[in-house]
A and B are shown apart, each in its own frame.
Chain A
Amino acid sequence: MVYWFRVILDELFIISKPDVDLSRNIKARRRSELQAYRTMGDGRGGGGGNRPAWLQQYDLLGKIGEGTYGLVFLARTKLHKACIAIKKFKQSKDGDGVSPTAIREIMLLREITHENVVKLVNVHINHADMSLYLAFDYAEHDLYEIIRHHREKLNHPINQYTVKSLLWQLLNGLNYLHSNWIIHRDLKPSNILVMGEGEEHGVVKIADFGLARIYQAPLKPLFENGVVVTIWYRAPELLLGAKHYTSAVDMWAVGCIFAELLTLKPLFQGVEVKAMPNPFQLDQLDKIFKVLGHPTPEKWPTLVNLPYWQNDQQHIQGHKYDNAGLHSYVHLPQKNPAYDLLSKMLEYDPQKRITAAQALEHEYFRLDPLPGRNALVTSQPGEKAVNYPTRPVDTTTDFEGTTSVQSQQVSANAVSGSVASMAAPRPGPRQIPMVGMQRMPVGSMASFNIASQAGMGLNPGGIPMQRGTAAQAHQQQLRRKDPGMGMQNPGYPQQKRKF
């Protein structure tokens, strides 16, 4: 049989078209890329002992955050003195290995490269305690802190150039993700990072891909996996019980973030109903309806298919809302292009909601001030740039998140002081339940001598350090680059000559 088949094969292959030799292209590419095989990680996670070998390449500066998955540390590479954020994933408590969240985050981040998406520079494993570390380029700021700084310290809005640049870059990164069939699903100000001083100053980086998914197959709702995310940026179709995610849910979140950049406060600050699984979030919908008016099946045809709308147990269908207007909430005239774009992002019907690609083409981005690569400089010469505070660093926490032998030598005062300065959970959307998070044992809580390791001397009180204060003086002198000068990124909107 096989012989007979071969004969036919040989005859048929006369039709082959060698002019499009795809395999040759692959081979050519592969050769060079074979080298890149072992560039990631060090191939040996350290083996025995609590101090894995890979740790030697970093100076650990301290802890900068914590979440459901574990802790985030700030470190500096000894070789290039580059700042790196290291996210530590703990072994899940239920004895089921590396958390699926970590697996998916690695899986996606290992594939994607974009200027406006956070860059995974390394992955490390500590076999001794079965923990996993993701090393990212460090971003000094995030939208949560930038907005908070304006609201609480400066009492004035973020300048229009900065808002527009931040939004444009956020959309640019999101367009890349969506065109590669990835939905982020948890966009919120604290997940939108902005680079501090350096070559990439003021560049937006979308972060936290733990909940992101490729949507070749329909995605199940997050709550079915018991995942808790903030409801303030959740799209109305999800609040009404839609069973599947589309990329439109990310655009709703961008709309909420845009409004927050304009007004400095969350647009829809609903009170969350805490119950499992996925309770009906009446207050959140109520907040949305008050601003955007009542949704109608005429404007949103698939509304009638949504479970919570159908059930109508809370009588949401009959509820009457005054015709308040989004424009009055964001203090923009209805003819303003910014308002026009915002209203298109906050479109009820997910099918009519503006896409990231469409949004990038919107008139708003073609009008002065034009968006730029460094969002944190001023648009007008003479205008003062804002000095955003650097991230507080808790220098008392070791990589293990606990104590170490050296800590015994630190005085008792230092120990008690350090507890108070532990990065307190932030108010609002950042407050995430500490599921699977081991609280640090207060009694044994002591400062591992990271400070001396980092050449900073001791920090006995464990006071969060503001880094780069000297460098901040320079920031005043930095101006947005002249159009056409050094703006190498071809992706940015066409810069018009002003003069």
Chain B
Amino acid sequence: MAANFWASSHCKQLLDPDDVDVLQPLDRERGLTQEEFKLIKIHMTNHIWKLAQQVKVRQRVIATAVTYFRRVYTRKSMTEYDPRLVAPTCLYLASKAEESTVQARLLVFYIKKMCSDEKYRFEIKDILEMEMKLLEALDYYLIVFHPYRALLQLLQDAGMTDLTHFAWGLVNDTYKMDLILIYPPYMIALACIYIASVLKDKETTAWFEELRVDMNVVKNISIEILDFYDYYKGDTCKGEPVKGIPEERINAALNKLATK
């Protein structure tokens, strides 16, 4: 149901960790590696992020767009669905779903302004066609829940609102992974609070105990987040995109797809 996560399509569609980050056969045939698949997803998440800042939409819209993007590639190949077109179209669709419609021509304009690479540039028509294909690929499930609301409520409850900025940045970074496809959003929020509280030396044992949630899940999520930071060693933890991926690696990966 629309306002209750447990009854929502989002909850019903949560995936097993083994079912995400799986290369589609077509992409594998093109020689795309698991690592490159991950890199492209991170890179395109950043692309959506930057584009969203140009057209000025709320955090929620960005998060929904990235979720759509990642959901699409649990079912479709990058060979057939060019990530460079899917990314802006996800933002376009999310802006409609989240009631802050951004015009397609604005997106096209800002992409041209942002990217000199011809392969990122598309016309309005391309976006509109891809919008329809995305609706199908998403099986018309458009409601997405995010950790942000839970994060604020939980921090309030814990009396740790001073961690808001820090934990918020961590939540932003979780969208560079597929966590939103695997775990309930409030569990992601809890993991971020957990990391933040430990790093900022806050005593939270009693509070977590009272919540009576499965701390093993919180632990797993926390470890995944830390692994991610460890691996991509960017300037992170400030809500900034990971900067550690060299352009050449991304381009090499995208060139294997050669969709345009």
Return the CB mask of B154-187 against A: 1 if under 8 Å, else 0.
0000000000000000000000000000011001
Closest to A23 in B: B217
Give the chain B neighbours of A43 by CB distance below 8 A. Answer: 136
**In the complex, are the beta carbons of B12 and A107 less than 8 A apart?**
no
Instruction: Please tell me which one of the listed residues A22, A26, A100, A112 contacts residue B96 in the complex, with CB atoms under 8 A apart.
Output: A100
Closest to B12 in A: A33
Complex CA–CA separation, A23 to B11 (angstroms): 11
Return the CB mask of A2-28 against B: 1 if under 8 Å, else 0.
100110110011011110111100110
* A96 beta carbon closer than 8 Å to chain B: yes
Interface residues of B in 108-148 (CB under 8 A from A): 124, 127-129, 131-133, 135-136, 139-143
* A322 beta carbon closer than 8 Å to chain B: no
Give the chain A neighbours of B4 by CB distance below 8 A. Answer: 180
* A156 beta carbon closer than 8 Å to chain B: no
**In the complex, are the beta carbons of A127 and B215 less than 8 A apart?**
no
**In the complex, are the beta carbons of B198 and A180 less than 8 A apart?**
no
* A239 beta carbon closer than 8 Å to chain B: no
Give the chain A neighbours of B215 by CB distance below 8 A. Answer: 12-13, 15-17
**In the complex, are the beta carbons of B104 and A107 less than 8 A apart?**
no
Give the chain B neighbours of A40 by CB distance below 8 A. Answer: 139-140
* B222 beta carbon closer than 8 Å to chain A: yes
**In the complex, are the beta carbons of B213 and A9 less than 8 A apart?**
no
**In the complex, are the beta carbons of B214 and A110 less than 8 A apart?**
no
Complex CA–CA separation, A58 to B114 (angstroms): 46
**In the complex, are the beta carbons of B226 and A2 less than 8 A apart?**
yes
Interface size class of B (residues with CB under 8 A): 35 or more
**In the complex, are the beta carbons of A111 and B9 less than 8 A apart?**
yes
Instruction: Please tell me which one of the listed residues A33, A44, A108 contacts residue B2 in the complex, with CB atoms under 8 A apart.
Output: A108
Interface residues of B in 62-118 (CB under 8 A from A): 75, 92-93, 96-97, 99, 101, 103-105
**In the complex, are the beta carbons of B142 and A15 less than 8 A apart?**
no
Instruction: Please tell me which one of the listed residues B96, B143, B184 contacts residue A98 in the complex, with CB atoms under 8 A apart.
Output: B96
Spot the interface stretch: B40-48, B204-212, B241-249.
B204-212
**In the complex, are the beta carbons of A9 and B140 less than 8 A apart?**
no
**In the complex, are the beta carbons of B97 and A26 less than 8 A apart?**
no
Closest to A108 in B: B2
**In the complex, are the beta carbons of A112 and B214 less than 8 A apart?**
no
Complex CA–CA separation, A181 to B5 (angstroms): 12
**In the complex, are the beta carbons of B216 and A13 less than 8 A apart?**
yes
- Distance in angstroms from A457 CB to nearest chain B CB is 36
* B28 beta carbon closer than 8 Å to chain A: no
**In the complex, are the beta carbons of A2 and B230 less than 8 A apart?**
yes
* B152 beta carbon closer than 8 Å to chain A: no
| Given A98-B132, A103-B93, A20-B9 contact (CB < 8 Å) | no
- Distance in angstroms from A40 CB to nearest chain B CB is 5
Complex CA–CA separation, A38 to B12 (angstroms): 13
**In the complex, are the beta carbons of B16 and A180 less than 8 A apart?**
no
* A352 beta carbon closer than 8 Å to chain B: no
**In the complex, are the beta carbons of A12 and B142 less than 8 A apart?**
no
**In the complex, are the beta carbons of A30 and B127 less than 8 A apart?**
no
Closest to A213 in B: B99
Instruction: Please tell me which one of the listed residues A21, A100, A111, A180 contacts residue B101 in the complex, with CB atoms under 8 A apart.
Output: A100
Supply 8 further A-B pairs (C-beta < 8 A) apart from A16-B215, A40-B139, A127-B132.
A12-B205, A13-B219, A30-B16, A100-B96, A103-B93, A104-B97, A110-B140, A127-B133
- What are the nearest 6 A-B pairs in CB distance? A16-B215, A181-B3, A107-B142, A97-B128, A100-B96, A103-B96
Identify the A interface with B (CB < 8 A).
2, 5-6, 8-9, 12-13, 15-18, 20-23, 26-27, 29-30, 33, 36-38, 40-41, 43-45, 91, 95-98, 100, 103-104, 106-108, 110-112, 123, 125, 127, 130, 132, 180-182, 213-214, 216
A-B residue pairs in contact (CB < 8 Å), sample of 23: A5-B195, A5-B198, A5-B199, A15-B205, A17-B212, A22-B213, A23-B217, A27-B16, A29-B12, A30-B16, A33-B13, A91-B128, A97-B96, A98-B132, A104-B96, A104-B99, A106-B140, A111-B9, A127-B133, A180-B2, A181-B3, A182-B3, A216-B149
